[in-house]
Structure 1
Amino acid sequence: MDASVVVVGAGPAGLMLAGELRLAGIDVVVLEKLARSTGESRGIGFTPRTMEVFDQRGLLSRFGDIEKSGQGHFGGIPLDFEVLGGGELAARSVPQSVTESVLEAWARELGADIRRGHEFAGLTDHGDRVDVRVRDSGHEHTLSAAYLVGCDGGRSGVRKAGGFDFPGTAATTELFLADVRGVDLEPRMVADRVTDGMVMVGRLGDGVHRIIVSERGAPPQRRTGPPAFAEVADVWKRLTGIDISHAEPVWVSAFGDASRQVTEYRRGRVLLSGDSAHIHLPAGGQGMNTSVQDSVNLGWKLAAVLRSTAPPALLDTYHSERHEVGRRLLANTRAQSLLLLGSEDVQPLRDMLAELALHEEVSRTLAAKAAGLDIRYDVGKGVNPLLGRRMPTWELLRDGTPTTSAELLRAGRGVLLDLAGNQHLRRRAVGWTDRVDVVTATRRSEAGDGPAGRAHAVLIRPDGHVAWIAPGSHHDLPMALERWFGPAR
């Protein structure tokens, strides 16, 4: 083997996966066809859920001073994330290029082998290994790996070479995105539906504005490169009456509203993560965030299988958990596409949904979807509402030292949190302490009402999701430990 894992694509999904694998001590080679980063940023910022993911790996401080906001939207209907009741905030000032830079530096520090200027050219899955053909400076060579993961975007070569089915709907319209200088526009951070289309404006700093514009009825074009800025300026003037043709374009792009998802996230020793597995209208910036979370779900499972501490069947839970997340993502982005881009015939639906969103329960449901906070995995039967959900950030005292539940996950290992000083509990986990950190601590703040607040022990997976809780789980601790971390040593 040349590597335990070959990852194709050095975007957020590929770099996050490389870091997760290196945290677990797995050697990984990342292949990226671009010799250097373009600096372009289709995504801006990340959702509250991704904020939590980065926090649990100690990455948030690397982004510097992050502008945070509790505001969002669902299909142009304004939402306040504070309705969720947990102080959830989204990052609004971080270009995707910065996110990629932070993740690449982190992965390299951990020892990931990132090879730029290396293009994926094909694969052969032999059942016990995968041979990956690579094109480098016009020459082709082969790498052998135990597993191959495609993180190479919506036009994934790995997906095509691996024979993955990719059903869904083709694009029906085209949208333009442009970052421009030399023009002063009023922000329109929530999509503004105008007479014949939709426009958005955001300020990115350094005098740069991002504009997104869609003219109703504009069919998708077969393009071999980005559109000319003059084309974007013409559409902008037709829809807003404002002439921006004198502006300096920094970056121009076009995209559509296609909606597709692979039928399986794993075929043998080939897996997909991020946009390789699902494409959709980038409503609310959910694409990059879902991609990062795909890789966090996959990384520790793949590492456990490669270390032989867990059976290969653990990888099946990657598909069962993340395919459902992707399916729900496509459903909500298609609904938002209809609200954002639909004709006047859709206006009664918009009006009704906007009225319903004034009710707290409806607003909470839509905000949870837009923020990525509505995910709950099937980890077994139980009555505690935390089962299968992400562990909230609890303030703790450990040996008299303040810490948080997020900080306990920095090493990318499982955590058994003992909040009652239960020696019997800790003895039952002894057979898994090579994979799970057993931590005795107390809550620093009031636990609150309800079964979640009364918990005296919590088993947390490396991705931050609760796998077992007492009281509340209907199965015992050793069963949960074996299911998610393999047999006791």
Structure 2
Amino acid sequence: MHDVVIVGAGPVGLFLACELGLAGCSVLVLEREAEPGSPWRAAPLGSRGLNTASAEAFHRRGLLDRLRKAAGLDDAPGSARPRLGGHFGGMMLDPARIDVAALPFRLPGSATESMMASLDVVEGLLSERATALGVEIRRGVTVSAVTQDDEGVVAWAGEDAYPARWLVGCDGGRSAVRRLTGFDFVGTGPQLTGYSMRATLADPEELAFGFNLTPTGLYVRMPGKGHLAMMDFDGGAFDRSQTPTRAHLQSVLRRVSGTDVTLGEVDLVSTFTDRAMQTTTYRQGRVLLAGDAAHIHSPLGGQGLNTGIGDAVNLGWKLAATVHGHAPDGLLDSYTRERHPVGAAVLDWTRAQVAAMRPDPHGRAIQAVVRELIGTRDGATFVFERISGASVRYDLGDENPLVGRSAPDFLLGDGTRLGELLRDGRGVLLDFTVDRHLREVAGDRESRIRYAAGPAANDLGFGAVLVRPDGTVAWADGHDPDRKSLASAADQWFGAPAS
């Protein structure tokens, strides 16, 4: 029996597998597809934006430089550095108007910008990492049933049984695990049908590159290998209801773009909608959900992959602590408590973008207001804060403004950054005061908390900061830290001291 079975070998499932493997859990990943590669996962169709929060997650596990290199962003002469930016409902942000210094508790570091990477590059890196950590990945396995009791859970693929102590569904928007285990999945229906295709144009000069919000919808033209996307406000009527023909696609593209553009060869095409749905809880007994299995929405703003990685980072260390028997009461339940509001906010963020894109007088009125707002420094910074993940703050019951946020990448006097200290998956107690009594709190839990002391290049006015393995600040205090409150926070998140 494995400690954890993960269903789904996409980026979310693989990142979670790496987190659990790093913590010494025995992990089996089951994937329906027999082979890892497909045109939909390679660039350009598989290209995705990783926001700052996701880049931080890779940095904190020592994977960011490898990911950047694999994605062709190795900072070699002539390589393109990513730029700050993004869009709201197809209305682009001006990077020059984004005030990065105004983002809460940000410090210069290794993961301050977003980046583009294709799904196959991300999955390849994570698969290699997971395998090195002892994770087993089995492909060509379709889960057909899930059974559980108080002792464990079994994923069934026909007559083949895969028992584990815990099971996590990371198997996408049409999750079999979600369906088979009866999670409630609620939300709002679609207003549009979206299309993503690889196609040639007989008259490419008719279409502008980039995001183009028009009076009748949205189209996106990416440079390179003929990647086109469009959104048509038809109430979602065409999504998966029939096979899109070249004639249909050309008709929609002409209507949405307002041009007489002519499609040439259509190589690949898929459809999607802005349906926004979320499970009411992320856990039922010994079964948990993460990523698109727990929440789906339109791809506007590229929030899906990033939200899923955030789920995996939040869940991994909590599930590992539960497996190893040193999780404090309620730790695993805090996964739903912290991540469900984040998912709900993302759904509303995408709904708001769809509302602003509607091809009617109401939508155009909203567009005028949004364009004016994002044309200001404060407006552009606000939207970027949401896109980047910098706005996420968990309610941990502490009024300290740093607690619940992603920890700044503090630079210590010896040149070490906080991100490097998190690479082994333990929490970190940063002690800028070199207080002997604080050291004892960490020493009592040495297998779970790393102690690091010394001055920082910029301590932001804090004397000590306790950081969870997911990079979230669990406790912080001023230049005269209170040992008793620190010990209480350590008990809450890391369990009692070792006897």
Pairwise CA distance, 1:56: 0.8
Describe the shift of the 1:43–1:262 C-alpha distance in structure 2 as closer, same or farther (beyond 3 A): farther
Structure 2 matches for 1:80-159, cutoff 5 A? 80=94, 82-85=98-101, 86=106, 88-92=112-116, 94-135=117-158, 140-159=159-178
Q: Output the CA distance in 1 between the equivalents of 2:241 and 2:30.
A: 23
Counterpart AA for 1:104:
S
Alignment deviations for residues 242-298 of structure 1 (CA, whole Å, 9 cap, x no partner): 53422452x321000100010000011000000000000111111011001101100
- Say if 1:229 and 1:252, in contact at 8 Å, map to a contact too: no
What is residue 450 of structure 1 aligned with on the other side? none
- Say if 1:261 and 1:278, in contact at 8 Å, map to a contact too: yes
What is residue 56 of structure 1 aligned with on the other side? 60
Match of 2:410 among 381, 387, 394: 394
Match of 2:179 among 143, 147, 160: 160
What is residue 261 of structure 2 aligned with on the other side? 243
Q: Output the CA distance in 2 between the equivalents of 1:350 and 1:245.
A: 29
Pairwise CA distance, 1:422: 1.3
Q: Does 1:440 align with 2:453?
A: yes
Q: Output the CA distance in 2 between the equivalents of 1:294 and 1:182.
A: 39
Counterpart AA for 2:9:
A
The unaligned stretches of length 5 or more in structure 1 are: 448-452
* Secondary structure class of the residue paired with 1:208: coil
Taking structure 1 as the reference length, what is the TM-score of the superposition?
Answer: 0.90
Further displaced range: 272-281 or 33-42: 33-42
Pairwise CA distance, 1:359: 3.6
* Secondary structure class of the residue paired with 1:103: helix
* Secondary structure class of the residue paired with 2:330: helix
Q: Output the CA distance in 2 between the equivalents of 1:40 and 1:125.
A: 34
Q: Does 1:300 align with 2:317?
A: yes
Further displaced range: 239-248 or 404-413: 239-248
Pairwise CA distance, 1:446: 4.0
Q: Output the CA distance in 1 between the equivalents of 2:430 and 2:86.
A: 33
- Say if 2:193 and 2:239, in contact at 8 Å, map to a contact too: no
Q: Output the CA distance in 1 between the equivalents of 2:219 and 2:290.
A: 31
What is residue 189 of structure 1 aligned with on the other side? 210
Describe the shift of the 1:441–1:253 C-alpha distance in structure 2 as closer, same or farther (beyond 3 A): farther
Structure 2 matches for 1:342-381, cutoff 5 A? 342-381=359-398
Q: Does 1:34 align with 2:33?
A: yes
- Say if 2:328 and 2:493, in contact at 8 Å, map to a contact too: no
Match of 1:455 among 462, 467, 481: 462
Describe the shift of the 1:270–1:225 C-alpha distance in structure 2 as closer, same or farther (beyond 3 A): farther
Q: Output the CA distance in 1 between the equivalents of 2:328 and 2:214.
A: 55
Counterpart AA for 1:34:
E
- Say if 1:51 and 1:60, in contact at 8 Å, map to a contact too: yes
Q: Output the CA distance in 1 between the equivalents of 2:462 and 2:246.
A: 57
Further displaced range: 368-377 or 237-246: 237-246
Pairwise CA distance, 1:342: 4.4
Taking structure 2 as the reference length, what is the TM-score of the superposition?
Answer: 0.89
Pairwise CA distance, 1:470: 1.6
Alignment deviations for residues 113-161 of structure 1 (CA, whole Å, 9 cap, x no partner): 01000111111111221121124xxxx2112111110001111111111
What is residue 70 of structure 1 aligned with on the other side? 84
Moved over 6 A (4+): 472-475
Further displaced range: 225-234 or 478-487: 225-234
- Say if 2:190 and 2:273, in contact at 8 Å, map to a contact too: yes
Q: Output the CA distance in 1 between the equivalents of 2:179 and 2:114.
A: 34
What is residue 487 of structure 2 aligned with on the other side? 478
Pairwise CA distance, 1:173: 1.9
Q: Output the CA distance in 2 between the equivalents of 1:264 and 1:458.
A: 31
Pairwise CA distance, 1:312: 5.5
- Say if 1:198 and 1:341, in contact at 8 Å, map to a contact too: no
Pairwise CA distance, 1:106: 1.3
Pairwise CA distance, 1:43: 4.7
Q: Output the CA distance in 2 between the equivalents of 1:124 and 1:97.
A: 32
* Secondary structure class of the residue paired with 1:119: coil
Q: Does 1:418 align with 2:437?
A: no
Pairwise CA distance, 1:69: 1.6
The unaligned stretches of length 5 or more in structure 2 are: 74-80
Counterpart AA for 2:89:
G
Pairwise CA distance, 1:188: 3.6
Counterpart AA for 2:462:
A
Q: Output the CA distance in 1 between the equivalents of 2:49 and 2:236.
A: 29
Q: Which has the higher strand share?
A: 1
Aligned length: 468
Q: Does 1:234 align with 2:251?
A: yes
What is residue 78 of structure 2 aligned with on the other side? none
- State, as a whole percentage, how many aligned pairs show the same letter: 37
Structure 2 matches for 1:312-327, cutoff 5 A? 313-327=330-344
Counterpart AA for 1:368:
E
- Say if 1:74 and 1:370, in contact at 8 Å, map to a contact too: no
Q: Output the CA distance in 2 between the equivalents of 1:277 and 1:350.
A: 30
Pairwise CA distance, 1:109: 1.5
Pairwise CA distance, 1:356: 2.3
Further displaced range: 332-341 or 208-217: 208-217
- Say if 1:10 and 1:151, in contact at 8 Å, map to a contact too: yes
- Say if 2:463 and 2:478, in contact at 8 Å, map to a contact too: yes
Q: Output the CA distance in 2 between the equivalents of 1:77 and 1:217.
A: 21
Describe the shift of the 1:361–1:28 C-alpha distance in structure 2 as closer, same or farther (beyond 3 A): same
